[in-house]
């Protein structure tokens, strides 16, 4: 198993939406979900001849290639969905709350519950929660900042708006009543993601061209993928109680929204590494939402939607058997996550959990 650090760049407008309205598509997603990215990468590898039909069926039943969601990459920094307990002052555009994840970890370690800020340093009470829709940058010591110094205008991704009319194939002219508008992510947006793949998967030297979102036949959603480097699979040094950041949505067994117990030994074993230790999640903070399980390529059906904790949620738990080496298991947890069986499907791209101490926008 190798974990690749990849960069994505939109080469044409990308229409990735939360909802379809009667007059078009609204509210573009500002990130690419893990299931969408995984499907696009596997499809591109098939087109390039790296994967054959059998490999795609195997990936459908027992996933080996796992993509993280793709989040904005701006000014050389990786942005992350905002965790809970953060609010933005509508007047001075600063973030208030637990702007240091290490401080929050200390609060939890002392057995207390985190508090919600009610005003900013200047006493303004017009605060807006920013979890998980806004992006933050994270410094190695766990300090959270708004990108671009917290300007009023969101700068994480560029959005363009357009009005279009459906064209009748028969008459070659506009169809009445089919005027629609859409919001699309502009060409030139950059994203970062990780892709964990078996050792035998080689990405083409020139990168891959992915098709993401709606309107691919009309040239929309062309995204270039380049490999920026390999992510080390070690060096995660934690003990006892740990605060995890959910890089992806989480889902548990039997309708739960997060995994309660994670066996690091079997997780590392899946990717050919040796580890020990068990993570027991005791507290979870984050919004709950129904998330798409993605498209099942081999069976040609959408996987069921699952009740999840959204990306950016925080999970607090304890690592048992701390004396033994659990760094390989924690590295696998950060990039591969915990695969979860939902109905007939195995979901990949969920439960990617990263100890907050190793989050770093700069690396």
Where along the sequence are the contacts to Zn ion (CB under 5 A)? 89, 91-92, 120, 122, 124
What is the smallest separation between the CB atom of 124 and Zn ion, expressed in angstroms? 3
What is the smallest separation between the CB atom of 138 and Zn ion, expressed in angstroms? 22
What is the smallest separation between the CB atom of 120 and Zn ion, expressed in angstroms? 3
**End-to-end alpha carbon distance in the chain:** 20
| Residues 152 and 134 sit within 8 Å (Cβ to Cβ) | no
- Residue 144 has phi, psi (to 5 degrees) of -100, 140
Q: Which is nearer to Zn ion, 61 or 91 (CB)?
A: 91
Q: Which is nearer to Zn ion, 120 or 212 (CB)?
A: 120
Q: Which is nearer to Zn ion, 123 or 170 (CB)?
A: 123
Q: Is 307 exposed, middle or buried (0-12, 13-18, 19+ CB in 10 A)?
A: middle
Q: How far is CA 165 from CA 51, 183, 215, in A?
A: 38, 14, 13
Q: Which is nearer to Zn ion, 148 or 202 (CB)?
A: 148
Nearest to 347 by CA among 305, 314, 319: 305
Three-state DSSP at 315 gives strand
Token pair, residue 231, equals 């992510």
> How does DSSP classify residue 12?
S
Token pair, residue 207, equals 């990168």
Which uninterrupted H or E stretch holds 144?
A: strand 144-145
Q: Which is nearer to Zn ion, 126 or 165 (CB)?
A: 126
Q: Which is nearer to Zn ion, 122 or 186 (CB)?
A: 122
CA–CA distance, 24 with 163 (Å, rounded to integer):
9
What is the smallest separation between the CB atom of 93 and Zn ion, expressed in angstroms? 8
What is the smallest separation between the CB atom of 96 and Zn ion, expressed in angstroms? 8
| Residues 16 and 212 sit within 8 Å (Cβ to Cβ) | yes
What is the smallest separation between the CB atom of 122 and Zn ion, expressed in angstroms? 4
Token pair, residue 300, equals 């040609």
Q: How far is CA 138 from CA 66, 115, 142, 256, in A?
A: 23, 21, 6, 29
Q: Which is nearer to Zn ion, 121 or 186 (CB)?
A: 121
What is the smallest separation between the CB atom of 88 and Zn ion, expressed in angstroms? 9
């Amino acid at each position: 198993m190798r974990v690749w650090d990849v960069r994505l760049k939109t080469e044409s407008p990308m229409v990735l939406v939360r909802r379809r309205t009667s007059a078009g598509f609204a509210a573009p997603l500002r990130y690419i979900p893990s299931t969408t990215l995984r499907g696009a990468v596997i499809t591109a590898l098939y087109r390039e001849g790296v994967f054959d039909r059998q490999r795609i069926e195997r990936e459908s039943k027992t996933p080996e290639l796992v993509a993280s969601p793709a989040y904005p990459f701006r000014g050389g920094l990786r942005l992350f969905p905002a965790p809970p307990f953060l609010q933005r002052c509508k007047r001075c555009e600063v973030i208030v709350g637990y702007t240091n994840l290490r401080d929050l970890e200390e609060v939890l370690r002392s057995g207390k519950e985190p508090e919600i800020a009610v005003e900013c340093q200047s006493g303004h009470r017009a605060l807006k929660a920013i979890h998980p829709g806004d992006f933050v940058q994270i410094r190695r010591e766990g300090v959270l900042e708004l990108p671009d110094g917290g300007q009023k205008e969101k700068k994480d991704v560029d959005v363009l708006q357009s009005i279009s009319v459906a064209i009748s194939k028969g008459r070659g002219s506009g169809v009445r009543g089919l005027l629609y508008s859409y919001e699309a992510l502009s060409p030139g947006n950059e994203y970062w993601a990780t892709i964990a793949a078996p050792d035998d998967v080689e990405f083409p030297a020139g990168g891959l061209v992915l098709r993401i979102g709606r309107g691919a036949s009309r040239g929309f959603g062309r995204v270039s993928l380049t490999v920026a480097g390999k992510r080390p699979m070690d060096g995660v040094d934690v003990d006892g109680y740990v605060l995890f950041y959910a890089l992806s949505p989480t889902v548990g067994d039997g309708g739960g929204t997060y995994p309660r117990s994670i066996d690091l030994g079997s997780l590392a074993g899946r990717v050919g590494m040796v580890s020990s230790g068990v993570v027991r999640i005791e507290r979870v903070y984050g919004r709950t939402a129904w998330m798409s399980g993605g498209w099942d390529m081999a069976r040609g059906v959408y996987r069921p939607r699952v009740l999840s904790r959204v990306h950016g949620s925080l999970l607090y738990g304890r690592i048992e058997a701390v004396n033994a080496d659990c760094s390989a298991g924690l590295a696998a947890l950060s990039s591969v996550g915990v695969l979860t069986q939902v109905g007939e499907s195995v979901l990949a791209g969920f439960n990617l959990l990263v100890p907050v101490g190793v989050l770093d926008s700069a690396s």
